[in-house]
Amino acid sequence: MPSVYIKTYGCQMNERDSEAVAAQLVAKGYSLAASEHVADVVLLNTCSVRDNAEQTALNKMTNVISDARKQRPNQIFGFLGCMAQSRGKELIDRLPDVDLVLGTQKFHRAAEYLNDLLGGKRNKVVDTEAEQGSEGTIKEHLLNGAAKDKAVTAFVSIMQGCNQYCTFCIVPYTRGEERSRTIPDIVAECRQLVAQGVKEITLLGQIVTSYGRRRPVTPSLSPSDGERVAKPSEGIVPLKDGKSAFVQLIEAVHEIEGLERIRFTSPHPKGYGDDLVAAYARLPKLVESAHLPVQSGSDRVLKLMHRGYTRARYLEIIRKLRAARPGIGITSDIIVGFPGETEADFEETLSLCREVEFDNAYLFKYSQRKDTPAASMPDQLPEPLIEERHARLLELINTIGKRRYEAFIGRQTQILVEGPSRRNEARMAGRTRCNKIVVFGGSARHRGELLDVKITRVGSFTLYGDPAIVNL
Ligand code: 5AD
């Protein structure tokens, strides 16, 4: 049977899509190869959020192909996901050895197309069509993955697409309109995972806080004229007792016996209504962790970005979350160098970071994306200025992060043990409820356990602990 190697670029949604494709192929008899050098099929699941991510995948494919020409003449090559969606056939025009280009609503067709390509029934396949119901196709899991150990944590895709149309962002064009799965469908998948030993579930989507707010519209991958907000009665899951569809979903997942922890990503700050804040206070399995992408601290820039909140509103959400769950871990995404960003705007971002004190933040240098409104805005900033601001902000984020991590020294905290540490296989690693990695000297038998550890020291965005000295 053929073997496949899948390399994933980008976000957790992409990781999840790749896992579903791998599970689908394994179910059809494929084996998973350890590298591109020994695989019959090489698939790159791509990211389009920044130009950098696209170039990395294009370079990788170029290298894999030139290497294969000499040694593996029959190897099959495919691009999946966001760049496949946005560039389509152009990818084959550019790299004629590529056999498959599969868009973001077509992951479930991978096995069928690969069988045809391997069997010589087709020569090339480009499929980037929209497909009704595709939001419900990312379901298969690979719980006994490469590590051959049972998975402790799992990701569950609850929706696809985004209708926010932030002016910098390509995602609405690569992922299509918001389409949500139903609560019973999602809960059934979660139940099955828990029955197989999963203790922590992360609910995934491009904008999870908009879950269930829209009637499934005819899926389209073309830009709409701005955001179409559904009236509560129009959404597939109407408001119930003042609770949004997303909060209702969290409540339903929360009821699953044996499940210990619930996380979600990515939310949008505008979705943090009082019902969601109250859910943090009410639902113990919803861990005290929030990834709240702020993008900028300047109201002027936030408006240009079409983010739909102000600095003051963002700070209010943070205040309410911290009141509901003291100790909540808060992380963010920030874009540096959005068109027209002045020194004063940038300083507002710095001051917001000082005010919030993020545990960590992912910094993105602004990248012009095809057909997005921001790409044609005046005053695109020069690269050196973006680099300089990026370095200043990175230093601040690292300083604040270090301080927040150091505050854990001497404290006892609960972790869920996930497996061997990535950096040092001889040690084990787990995560706190507030989403910090803890490395400790445990053994494989701790895997899947909720364990109390005492934090002894910190590294770069890592805590080191010791279970042995607990209760002393
Ligand atoms: N340039 C730079 N960063 C971007 N992001 C999205 N689009 C762009 C862009 N054009 C960042 C945002 C988002 C994260 C996933 O990627 O910060 O939250």
Amino acid identity, residue 160?
Answer: Q
How far apart, in whole angstroms, are the C-alpha atoms of residue 441 and residue 458?
15
pLDDT confidence of residue 223: 46
The residue whose CB lies within 8 Å of the most ligand 1 atoms, and thus the one to mutate among 9, 12, 47, 49, is 49
The residue whose CB lies within 8 Å of the most ligand 1 atoms, and thus the one to mutate among 83, 169, 309, 338, is 169
Decide: pTM greater than 0.85: yes
Please check whether residue 167 is in contact with residue 372, taking contact to mean a CB–CB distance below 8 angstroms.
yes
The residue whose CB lies within 8 Å of the most ligand 1 atoms, and thus the one to mutate among 48, 291, 364, 380, is 364
Please check whether residue 316 is in contact with residue 355, taking contact to mean a CB–CB distance below 8 angstroms.
no
Pocket of ligand 1 contains residue 5 by CB under 6 Å: no
Verify cis geometry, omega within 30 degrees of 0, for the bond prior to 18: no
pLDDT confidence of residue 215: 66
How far apart, in whole angstroms, are the C-alpha atoms of residue 300 and residue 171?
23
pLDDT confidence of residue 236: 76
pLDDT confidence of residue 467: 87
pLDDT confidence of residue 226: 47
pLDDT confidence of residue 468: 64
Exposed, middle or buried by CB within 10 Å (0-12, 13-18, 19+), for 382?
A: exposed
∠ CA 275-279-283, rounded to 5°: 160
Pocket of ligand 1 contains residue 369 by CB under 6 Å: yes
User: How far, in Å, is the centroid of ligand 1 from the Cα of 404?
Assistant: 25
Which residues is 77 bridged to in the sheet? 42
pLDDT confidence of residue 472: 47
Blockwise average pLDDT, block size 10, the chain, 472 residues: 97 97 96 96 98 98 93 94 98 98 98 97 97 94 68 96 97 96 96 96 98 67 47 67 96 98 98 97 98 98 98 98 97 98 98 98 97 97 98 98 98 96 93 98 92 96 84 48
pLDDT confidence of residue 218: 44
